Amino acid sequence: MSLLVVEDLVKTYPGRRRTPPVEAVRGISFTVEAGEFFGLLGPNGAGKSTTLGCLNTLVRPTRGRILLDGVDLTRNPLEAKRKIAVVPQTRNLDRDLTVREVLTFHGRYFGLPAAERESRADRLLAELQIAEKAGAKPLTLSGGQQQRLMIARALMHDPKIVLLDEPTTGLDPQARRLLWETLGSLHRRGLTFILTTHYMEEADRLCQRLAIVDHGRILTLDTPAALKKGLPGGQILDLWLKAKAPLAPRLSGLQGVMKIEPVAVDGDGEGTERLRLFVDRTDGLLDRVLHALRDAGADLQHVSLTPPSLEDVYIHLTGKELRE
Amino acid sequence: MTAFLALLRRDLLVASRNAIPMVMATLTQPILVVLVFGNILPRLNLVAPEFRTVMVPGLMSITMMMAGVQGVLMPLVIDLSGSREVDERILAPISVLGVAFEKVVAGAIHAGLAGLLALPAMMLLMHRVGGVSVHPSWWALLPLIVVCGLLSAAFGLSLGTLVQPRFSGLLFAVVLGPLMLFGCAYYPWTGLSVLGVFQYVFLVNPLVFMSEAMRLAVTPDVPHMPVPLMLGGILGFTVVFTVFGARSFERKTIL
């Protein structure tokens, strides 16, 4: 049996006087196996954090069932909490304790005996490279260090599953890379993770399976490689242009063009369209496309030809870019 | 229970580190009131000397109320702020109501210690002036301090979860100020019989019962409210504020 089973999860936040109810999650189901690194990828407001909130007991589901290691989360939250660790989106470290006490008190809350508490705190401080800050107050740490302290805190009680809610948001690229390495090595040791993110690179790098979420639903769920493979054609040709007449009919007949999708362009690209061509790279493809554009009198402004990425999967599914 | 005790231990550790500012915050009010009303005004013959005796238990109850409310309210404001420090507690293997009740117990310890500290401080300031008749009976004082501490802290929990953090300053002016003036701290409740039925209107104020409890325990010469009414008031308000506060805490923490 899977370590985590989520069945038809629904969460509707009740409306207030002036705000209508919000259907944050509208029927999400998935399973996570022990030792897996599972990801929820989607834009802000897609329902990722609410889903994670339901998994960590801080959000009460409107409907649906969550089983963690055989324990029903809504029926037996106390038992479930012992198996869950949470690395939240906002840094919620206890500002009145020292870094080391943050860990030892977390251990106390979970009833760890003193010797184990102390040795585990020392080991995690060293492992997450914050040992030299052991006596400092958490708020004096850098963003990356605070994030690593939250991971150390999460690991104190030896959880079955670690829930990471956008762990690298707001970190500089170097701190982000260090955190990815840390998470990767913890995963290789057998820990199970669920990650929410809106960074494609992060999802691609860490997750073994990925659910792409939008408007409270899972659009697709597979390994990152399979998701990319699922796109038509082997390459993606993006065209940014200004055109007088619709171009799709002219381009779709060309040899090597598998599928054409318009992509929403935001911002100041006045009159500029973005056309996405899923193509098989055959000889003379670019030539044929450029010819067709010239014949149509289109003003081509920018071209890119790339192998498909997760972002392309996302655009293919939603018709829009995932803004970071 | 392990998690409950661990949370309590954490709160007491943090409080002990802030002991000096806490003692200052606790004792400033009673000391200044005693200096003015217990020392200066009697010497100017502007208040009756008996007033010194009357105000000692009242100031104890005010001190406890302030300490209990602040002991719960201030940490709660941080807990429920944008950083959501409270989630670390809620995610511990303890029910949300357990987390709320721990806050009440921690606040009650704070309030009880404040009351016990205020009494000798006031006596010390007035030991040279005569006419103060304070004789604490410890068998009554200690249990009453415990229940009054719980009442203060439960009140703090209700206020802290009810009022938005940015209005907490307003709270002290609009709620706690009137509460203290009409809390029978500076006059015994029994004396209010001169007001007729209005005497009973005062009973909506939880501080009245606390002041009368302290009056019973430390100034036996001053008449006090009947014990059943007093205990009923303290326990009733404690239960109401604890249940209401814990429910509203749960609503604020679990979405």
Selected for mutation to probe chain B from A58, A84, A101 (highest B CB count within 10 Å) is: A58
Neighbours of B3 (CB within 10 A): 21
CATH topology of domain A232-307: Alpha-Beta Plaits (3.30.70)
Count of residues in chain A: 324
Contacts with A84 from chain B: Cβ below 8 Å: 91
Q: The tokens of A176 are what?
A: 């982000």
How many angstroms away from the CA of B129 is the closest CA of chain A? 43
By Cβ distance, the residue of B88, B93, B255 closest to A94 is B88
At residue A268, does pLDDT exceed 70?
Answer: no
CB atoms B87 and A97 under 8 Å: no
CB atoms B87 and A57 under 8 Å: no
At residue A29, does pLDDT exceed 80?
Answer: yes
pLDDT in the model for residue B194: 84
pLDDT in the model for residue A194: 93
pLDDT averaged over every residue in chain B:
86
CB atoms B6 and A84 under 8 Å: no
List of residues 6+ apart from B151 with CB closer than 8 A: B68, B206, B209, B210, B234, B237, B238, B241
pLDDT band, very low/low/confident/very high, at A266 (cuts 50, 70, 90): low
Superfamily per CATH, domain A4-228: P-loop containing nucleotide triphosphate hydrolases (3.40.50.300)
How many angstroms away from the CA of A22 is the closest CA of chain B? 12
Longest dimension (CA), chain B: 61
Burial (CB count <10 Å: 0-12, 13-18, 19+), residue A11? buried
Rounded-to-integer distance, Cα B223 and Cα A134, Å? 57
Contacts with B99 from chain A: Cβ below 8 Å: none
How many angstroms away from the CA of B21 is the closest CA of chain A? 15
How many angstroms away from the CA of B1 is the closest CA of chain A? 9
By Cβ distance, the residue of B7, B10, B93 closest to A82 is B93
List of residues 6+ apart from A290 with CB closer than 8 A: A300
Neighbours of A60 (CB within 10 A): 14
At residue B244, does pLDDT exceed 90?
Answer: yes
What are the backbone dihedrals phi and psi of residue A242, each rounded to the nearest 5 degrees, phi first?
Answer: -115, 130
Rounded-to-integer distance, Cα B50 and Cα B221, Å? 11
- The predicted-structure confidence for A118-139, as pLDDT tens digits, reads as follows 999 999 898 888 888 888 899 8
**B10 Cβ under 8 Å from any chain A Cβ:** yes
**A95 Cβ under 8 Å from any chain B Cβ:** yes
Beta strands A217-222; A209-214: pairing state: antiparallel
pLDDT in the model for residue B206: 92
Rounded-to-integer distance, Cα B65 and Cα B155, Å? 9
pLDDT in the model for residue B230: 86
At residue B156, does pLDDT exceed 80?
Answer: yes
- Decide: A324 and A305 in contact? Cβ < 8 Å: no
Query: Could you give the 3-state DSSP secondary structure of residue A234?
Result: coil
Q: Which domain holds residue B128?
A: 2-253
Alpha-carbon A84 to chain mean position: 19
CB atoms A56 and B6 under 8 Å: no
User: Could you write out the DSSP letters of every residue in B204-240?
Assistant: G-HHHHHHHHHHHHH-TTS----HHHHHHHHHHHHHH
Interface of A with B in 142-201 (CB under 8 A): 153
- The predicted-structure confidence for A30-54, as pLDDT tens digits, reads as follows 999 998 999 998 887 788 889 989 9
CB atoms B255 and A109 under 8 Å: no
**A56 Cβ under 8 Å from any chain B Cβ:** yes
Domains of chain A: which residue ranges?
Answer: 4-228, 232-307
Q: Average of pLDDT values for A150-170?
A: 88
pLDDT in the model for residue B150: 94
CB atoms B10 and A78 under 8 Å: no
Q: Average of pLDDT values for B145-156?
A: 93
User: Could you write out the DSSP letters of every residue in B151-192?
Assistant: HHHHHHHHHHHHS-GGGHHHHIIIIIHHHHHTTTSSS-GGGG
- Is the overall model pTM greater than 0.90, yes or no? no
- The predicted-structure confidence for A178-190, as pLDDT tens digits, reads as follows 888 888 888 888 8
**A288 Cβ under 8 Å from any chain B Cβ:** no
CB atoms A86 and B7 under 8 Å: no
Q: The tokens of B253 are what?
A: 């923490």
Q: Which residue of B has its CA nearest to A11?
A: B255
**A86 Cβ under 8 Å from any chain B Cβ:** yes
Q: Average of pLDDT values for A157-177?
A: 86
In chain B, the percentage of residues whose pLDDT exceeds 70 is: 98
Rounded-to-integer distance, Cα B87 and Cα B155, Å? 22
Q: Average of pLDDT values for B100-116?
A: 91
How many angstroms away from the CA of A109 is the closest CA of chain B? 4
CB atoms A60 and B87 under 8 Å: no
pLDDT in the model for residue A31: 92
Contacts with A81 from chain B: Cβ below 8 Å: 91-93
Q: Which residue of A has its CA nearest to B13?
A: A97
pLDDT band, very low/low/confident/very high, at A324 (cuts 50, 70, 90): very low
Determine which of B23-27, B63-67, B77-81 has the lowest per-residue pLDDT on average.
B77-81
Interface of B with A in 13-52 (CB under 8 A): 13-14, 17
Instruction: Could you list the beta-strand ranges (E) of B80-221.
Output: none
CB atoms A57 and B91 under 8 Å: yes
How many angstroms away from the CA of B183 is the closest CA of chain A? 34
Smallest CA-to-CA distance from B58 within B174, B185, B226 is with: B185
**B84 Cβ under 8 Å from any chain A Cβ:** yes
Q: Average of pLDDT values for B194-212?
A: 87
**A58 Cβ under 8 Å from any chain B Cβ:** yes
Alpha-carbon A19 to chain mean position: 28
Q: Average of pLDDT values for A281-310?
A: 81
Rounded-to-integer distance, Cα B116 and Cα A31, Å? 57
pLDDT in the model for residue A321: 65
- Decide: A166 and A197 in contact? Cβ < 8 Å: yes
Q: The tokens of A181 are what?
A: 């390495």
- Decide: B192 and B164 in contact? Cβ < 8 Å: no
Neighbours of B175 (CB within 10 A): 14
Contacts with B95 from chain A: Cβ below 8 Å: 77-78
**A108 Cβ under 8 Å from any chain B Cβ:** yes
Continuous segment of H or E residues that includes residue A194: strand A192-197
By Cβ distance, the residue of B6, B93, B255 closest to A78 is B93
Burial (CB count <10 Å: 0-12, 13-18, 19+), residue A294? exposed
- Decide: B107 and B12 in contact? Cβ < 8 Å: no
Neighbours of B242 (CB within 10 A): 21
Strand partners, A194: A38, A163
How many angstroms away from the CA of B94 is the closest CA of chain A? 6
Q: Average of pLDDT values for A144-154?
A: 89
Higher pLDDT residue, A101 or B47?
A101
Query: Could you give the 3-state DSSP secondary structure of residue B24?
Result: helix
pLDDT in the model for residue B188: 85
Number of domains in chain B: 1
By Cβ distance, the residue of B3, B85, B254 closest to A92 is B85
CB atoms A90 and B2 under 8 Å: no
Q: Which residue of A has its CA nearest to B95?
A: A78
